[in-house]
Amino acid sequence: MVNGNHLVDGEIFVHPEFQKKGVGNALSKIMFKRAIEKYDAKVWDTYTFRGKFPLKWYKKLGFEEINEWTMISGDIRKALGKLK
């Protein structure tokens, strides 16, 4: 894994009518270039669906799955109550 600043999240969702027309590519290029220029980002960390799309598209760009990671989600009010 590359060390350095990480761009975290930054998902881009393209309406199905506009998919496969280069919109996702163009928006991703802008996001990545801005992260490099503004923050010297080296890595992009994000979550995606396990199905064929968009994971297959990300892998085509050279991104890899991190099997050691897991996504968690929970009610923050409930968590705050448990922190008291």
CATH number of 73's domain: 3.40.630.30
| Boundaries of domain holding 64 | 5-82
**Mean pLDDT for all residues in the chain:** 89
Share of the chain above pLDDT 70, in %: 98
**3-state secondary structure labels for all residues of 4-67:** CEEEECCCCCCCHHHCCCCHHHHHHHHHHHHHHHHHCEEEEECCCCCCHHHHHHHHHCCCCCCC
Domain count, the chain: 1
Whether 45 has a pLDDT exceeding 80, the answer reads: yes
Rounded CA-CA distance 31/13 in Å is 13
CA–CA separation, 46 vs 83, rounded Å? Answer: 27
pLDDT for the residue numbered 39: 94
